């Protein structure tokens, strides 16, 4: 017993896997490329390098000039951005201007206390520095003074990592605003290096993001999109392929090809639907074959009695007088009509029951069309435009029967019209077109042409000799030859049939 997997379960599992994949990529960007989480990860990763570069350049300008205002003015200008260079330890503004710093900003500016000591209370003075003379506070700094404790490290690249860890982004204050803190290299203050940070204030996150390099995030989003598309593509293509196969199969079944089957390898609703379509096609094929066999048996059983009846009518006409000639003539016409109907039934059932491609052989089109025209409708004007070298794979007898029925229809329902027979190669096939310039058929009847016993209007009734089997014989004969036929109306008037058969080598 095959285990079925519903489409809803497949799509749900695929969605969960896709979300897990996206989460893994996001975690890789947020947590692997930086040692932070949340909004800090946005600025500590590659996206914050642009702001860090601006802060480093500002620090270099502050060390090279005494005009701090001019140095800050070189930063990207915006009405929604406020810049300030703030001392980490004291929280005092050294350059630029920014609103009053919230407590959260001041807390992040101060370096962490030594291990095991509590943080200093707000407003307290920083501890005395050890890079100055022990007895002379006003003495200049010694040349061997150590760098600030928050930047001192013996490991290569540690300063860059420390600067990256000093980048923070958060939304605090009253009213709430966006704050970006970027740790800067030390600048000189009163003759000594002082740890500072660039503080950016903005009420608009969009304006603040203009300072960041969002290219890595855009690339990540594009990567997630591409990976998601590639991830979903097999599932979507599999479903689309199955639906296309089902659509093509149902179209062929609707056109009368009940031998069509759908692949049933899937184990979901589409696979179950394909199995149902196959069962439906098999039952329709069985019923259609049974009906054709029944009609063939009836036609066969009626053939002998009708033949004897025709002989009896002819004998009566010879033995009776002139008074019985008219009634016997009517009887003879009815018997002849019944015989023709039985013959058409026999032709229809034989074509429908014949195995496909049973007697296919190369057939030259030009002589076949000329022969059928001279035998079936020599009185109508018929123009044949077929290259002598064109050959098709078909059963010659069935192809002649199909063309003969089309010519008889043109002679019967479009008397005085012209008939055009043409054929041309078309992508490995041959298209044979039979057209007339008669009145055509109602457009709404085109879809049902070829159904047994269907007559498009009242004019085409049994009284005019039509049985509704002519075009059905055409369709079944061409199908037995491995081809297909399409009926259409010409513009501005006329009727046509397009027959497609395999081209003979």
pLDDT computed for residue 435 by the predictor: 94
Residues 6 or more apart whose Cβ sits within 8 Å of residue 108: 168, 181
Whether 366 and 335 map to the same domain: the answer is no
Whether 71 and 207 map to the same domain: the answer is yes
CA-closest candidate to residue 89, choices 180, 150, 40: 150
CA-closest candidate to residue 274, choices 239, 235, 322, 302: 239
SS (H, E, C) 108-153: HHCCCCCCCCCCCCCCCCCCCCCCCCCCCCCCCCCCCCCCCCCCCC
Whether 394 and 482 map to the same domain: the answer is yes
Pairing of strands 361-364, 391-394: antiparallel
Residue 273 inside a domain? The answer is yes
Q: Give the chain's domain count.
A: 4
* 87: enclosing H helix or E strand: strand 82-87
Quick check: 421 and 386 in contact, CB under 8 A? yes
What is the C-alpha separation between 369 and 375, in angstroms, rounded?
10
What is the C-alpha separation between 197 and 83, in angstroms, rounded?
10
Vertex 411: Cα angle to 407 and 414 (nearest 5): 115
Strands of 309-436, DSSP E? 361-364, 381-385, 391-394, 418-426, 429-436
pLDDT computed for residue 1 by the predictor: 52
Whether 220 and 202 map to the same domain: the answer is no
For residue 270, what is the domain's CATH number?
A: 1.10.287.130
Whether 491 and 392 map to the same domain: the answer is yes
Instruction: Collapse the DSSP code of 156 into the 3-class scheme (helix H, G, I; strand E, B; otherwise coil) and give the result.
Output: coil
Q: Please provide the DSSP assignment of 177-221 as one string.
A: EEEEEEE---EEETTEEE-EEEEEEES-HHHHHTTS--HHHHHHH
pLDDT computed for residue 412 by the predictor: 84
Q: Give the number of other CB atoms < 10 A from CB of residue 150.
A: 19
pLDDT computed for residue 340 by the predictor: 73
Q: What is the pLDDT of residues 320-330, one digit of tens each?
A: 767 777 777 77
Whether 490 and 365 map to the same domain: the answer is yes
Write down which residue in 328, 353, 378 finishes a domain.
353
Residue 146 inside a domain? The answer is no
- The dihedral through the CA atoms of 42, 45, 47, 50 has a sign that is positive
Quick check: 372 and 454 in contact, CB under 8 A? no
Whether 226 and 323 map to the same domain: the answer is no
Residue with tokens 């010519």: 407
Residue with tokens 């969605």: 15
Residue 148 inside a domain? The answer is no
Write down which residue in 254, 285, 303 finishes a domain.
254
Residue 20 inside a domain? The answer is yes
CA-closest candidate to residue 231, choices 14, 12, 25: 14
What is the C-alpha separation between 454 and 471, in angstroms, rounded?
9
Whether 188 and 71 map to the same domain: the answer is yes
Quick check: 364 and 329 in contact, CB under 8 A? no
DSSP-assigned beta bridge partners for residue 181 = 168, 199
CA distances from 11 to 14, 268, 271, 332 (A): 5, 11, 16, 71
What is the C-alpha separation between 135 and 324, in angstroms, rounded?
156
Residue 299 inside a domain? The answer is yes
Pairing of strands 381-385, 418-426: parallel
Residue 4 inside a domain? The answer is no
What residue spans of 377-440 are helical by DSSP H? 396-413
SS (H, E, C) 9-29: HHHHHHHHHHHHHHHHHHHHH
Instruction: Collapse the DSSP code of 354 into the 3-class scheme (helix H, G, I; strand E, B; otherwise coil) and give the result.
Output: coil
What is the C-alpha separation between 365 and 385, in angstroms, rounded?
10
Write down which residue in 333, 353, 373 finishes a domain.
353
DSSP-assigned beta bridge partners for residue 394 = 361
Q: What is the pLDDT of residues 268-279, one digit of tens each?
A: 888 889 999 999
Mean pLDDT by 10 residues, the chain (505 residues): 68 81 70 55 76 87 81 79 88 84 84 57 53 44 46 44 68 85 87 88 84 77 81 84 90 84 86 91 86 74 80 81 75 78 73 61 93 87 90 91 90 86 91 92 88 68 61 86 91 93 91
- The dihedral through the CA atoms of 408, 410, 415, 418 has a sign that is negative
What is the C-alpha separation between 406 and 222, in angstroms, rounded?
61
Nearest 10 degrees: Cα torsion 323, 327, 330, 335: -110
Residue with tokens 């600048």: 187
CA-closest candidate to residue 173, choices 193, 195, 203, 198: 203
Residue 129 inside a domain? The answer is no
Whether 180 and 267 map to the same domain: the answer is no
pLDDT computed for residue 466 by the predictor: 60
What is the C-alpha separation between 63 and 57, in angstroms, rounded?
10
CA-closest candidate to residue 468, choices 450, 458, 455, 477: 455
Quick check: 391 and 362 in contact, CB under 8 A? yes
Print the domain residue range for 412.
Answer: 358-502
Quick check: 166 and 196 in contact, CB under 8 A? no
What is the C-alpha separation between 380 and 406, in angstroms, rounded?
13
Quick check: 390 and 427 in contact, CB under 8 A? no
SS3 content of the chain, % helix, strand, coil (to 5): 50, 15, 35
Angle between helices 325-353 and 470-480 in degrees, nearest 10 = 30
Residue 130 inside a domain? The answer is no
pLDDT computed for residue 500 by the predictor: 94
For residue 183, what is the domain's CATH number?
A: 3.30.450
Whether 396 and 490 map to the same domain: the answer is yes
Whether 85 and 223 map to the same domain: the answer is no
Whether 52 and 200 map to the same domain: the answer is yes
pLDDT computed for residue 147 by the predictor: 46
């Amino acid at each position: 017993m095959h285990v079925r997997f519903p489409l809803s379960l497949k799509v749900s599992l695929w969605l969960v896997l896709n979300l897990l994949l996206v989460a893994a990529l996001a975690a890789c960007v947020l947590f692997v490329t930086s040692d932070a989480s949340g909004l800090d990860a946005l600025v500590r990763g590659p996206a914050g390098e642009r702001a860090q570069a601006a802060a480093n350049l500002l620090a270099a300008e502050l060390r090279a000039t005494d005009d701090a205002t001019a140095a800050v003015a070189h930063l990207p200008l915006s009405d929604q951005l406020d810049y300030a260079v703030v001392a980490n330890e004291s929280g005092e503004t050294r350059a630029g201007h920014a609103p009053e710093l919230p407590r959260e900003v001041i807390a992040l500016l101060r370096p962490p206390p030594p291990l095991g000591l509590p943080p200093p209370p707000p407003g307290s003075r920083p501890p005395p520095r050890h890079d100055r003379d022990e007895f002379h506070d006003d003495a200049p700094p010694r040349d061997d003074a150590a760098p600030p404790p928050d930047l001192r490290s013996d490991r290569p690249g540690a300063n860059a990592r420390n600067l990256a860890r000093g980048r923070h982004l958060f939304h605090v204050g009253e009213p709430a605003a966006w704050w970006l803190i970027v740790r800067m290299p030390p600048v000189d203050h009163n003759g000594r290096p002082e740890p500072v940070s660039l503080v950016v204030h903005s009420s608009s996150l969009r304006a603040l993001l203009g300072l960041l390099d969002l290219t890595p995030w855009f690339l990540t989003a594009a990567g997630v999109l591409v990976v998601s598309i590639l991830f979903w593509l097999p599932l979507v293509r599999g479903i689309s392929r199955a639906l296309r196969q089902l659509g093509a199969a149902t179209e062929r079944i609707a056109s009368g090809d009940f031998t069509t089957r759908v692949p049933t390898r899937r184990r979901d609703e589409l696979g179950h639907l394909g199995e149902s379509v196959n069962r439906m096609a098999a039952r329709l094929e069985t019923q259609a074959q049974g009906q054709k066999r029944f009609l063939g048996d009836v036609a066969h059983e009626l053939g002998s009695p009708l033949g004897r009846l025709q002989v009896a009518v002819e004998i009566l006409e010879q033995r009776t007088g002139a008074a019985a000639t008219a009634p016997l003539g009517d009887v003879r016409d009815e018997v002849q009509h019944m015989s023709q109907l039985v013959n058409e039934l026999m032709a229809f059932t034989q074509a429908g029951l014949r195995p496909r491609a049973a007697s296919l052989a190369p057939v030259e089109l030009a002589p076949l069309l000329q022969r059928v025209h001279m035998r079936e409708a020599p009185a109508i004007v018929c123009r044949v435009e077929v290259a002598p070298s064109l050959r098709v794979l078909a059963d010659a007898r069935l192809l002649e029967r199909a063309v003969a029925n089309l010519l008889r229809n043109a002679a019967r329902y479009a008397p005085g019209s012209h008939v055009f027979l043409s054929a041309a190669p078309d992508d490995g096939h041959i298209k044979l077109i039979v057209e007339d310039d008669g009145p055509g058929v109602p457009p709404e009847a085109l879809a049902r042409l070829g159904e047994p016993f269907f007559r498009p209007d009242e004019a085409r009734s049994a009284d005019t000799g039509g049985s509704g089997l002519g075009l059905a014989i055409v369709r079944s004969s061409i199908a037995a030859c491995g081809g297909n036929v399409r009926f259409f109306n010409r513009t501005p008037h006329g009727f046509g049939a397009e027959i497609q058969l395999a081209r003979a080598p």
